Amino acid sequence: MRRACSFTVSNALNFRALVVRRSLNFRLNLSCKFSVSSIRMKNTDSCTLMGENNESRGALVVFEGLDRSGKTSQCGRLLSYLEGLGHSVELWRFPDRTTSVGKMISAYLTSKSQLDDRTIHLLFSANRWEKRSTMETKLKAGTTLIVDRYSYSGVAFSSAKGLDFEWCKAPEIGLIAPDLVVYLDIPPEKAAERGGYGGERYEQLEFQRKVAQQYKLLEDSSWKILDACRPLEDVQKQVKEIVLEHVMTCHKGKPLSSLRSC
């Protein structure tokens, strides 16, 4: 795991004042230049640089995992925790069902409309692209973004339907690469026991098994895999420590990077 600096929960509290001060400083000192480094989706090779700016910024933290793995629960708790430490932080989710593209996706997921598999794949990707520039602006302004599902969901779910894996990755190229992907790992059978699935497409055990296999192909060095079968509070404790470390690294200065396939 990359470790530019290491922080625990306890010493983080001591750094709270420093973090807030830095946050204010870099918001007053924004630069238009910024650098881009590697993109990582497994089976892609190297990196794409978008500049050379090592400015302080917010972290892009993505949560991935099967349905019912606990993503939304953990995202909400992490938001409260980071806010409590004085960080500028927002919670996002994909699909963002509030946009016009997102409404088409929502209609599809709830079986109110039918769409070709490739068409819905590209809509999911477009839903991320329409938020990309806002994402960049927020990160550069020092806001940490906690994102409930991202490109990895896009590739895992569509390729689980049988679409070509590389084809599925292609439209994600150029989106901002996460600083950290927290993958909440749970066997599909265990996830299904958590209150059962709702009525949306994809919420079926056999399909979730295929999705889990595809997720495994996407793991790279930005991933941290947590055992999501553990009690919610235990998972939460691990999430806090891992995420805070990445938030602090980005506060110190780290180039933004793009997802890239070579």
Whether 211 contacts 156, CB under 8 Å = yes
CB-count burial class (<10 Å; 0-12, 13-18, 19+) for 129: middle
Write b or e for each residue in 139-151: b if 16 or more Cβ atoms lie within 10 A of its Cβ, otherwise e: bbebbbbbbbbbb
Nearer to ligand Z5A, 28 or 231 (CB): 231
Separate counts of helices (H) and strands (E) for the chain: 10, 8
Nearer to ligand Z5A, 65 or 178 (CB): 65
Residue 226 phi, psi dihedral angles, 5° rounding: -115, 145
The C-alpha atoms of residue 5 and residue 119 are separated, in whole angstroms, by 42
Q: Does 73 bind ligand Z5A (CB under 6 A)?
A: yes
* Order of strands, sheet of 144-148, starting from the edge strand that comes earlier in the sequence: 89-93, 144-148, 60-65, 180-185, 223-227
Nearer to ligand Z5A, 81 or 124 (CB): 124
Q: Does 149 bind ligand Z5A (CB under 6 A)?
A: yes
Q: What does 83 bind: ligand Z5A, Mg ion, none (CB cut-off 5 to 8 Å by kind)?
A: none
Residues 155-184 that bind ligand Z5A (CB under 6 A): 157
Q: Does 67 bind ligand Z5A (CB under 6 A)?
A: yes
Whether 33 contacts 52, CB under 8 Å = yes
Print the binding letters for residues 177-216 with ligand Z5A: x by CB under 6 A, - otherwise.
Answer: -----------------xx------xx-------------
Residues 223-262 that bind ligand Z5A (CB under 6 A): 228, 231-232, 235
Piece in contact with ligand Z5A (CB under 6 A), picked from 29-37, 42-50, 80-88, 148-156: 148-156
Q: Does 73 bind Mg ion (CB under 5 A)?
A: no
Q: Does 131 bind ligand Z5A (CB under 6 A)?
A: no
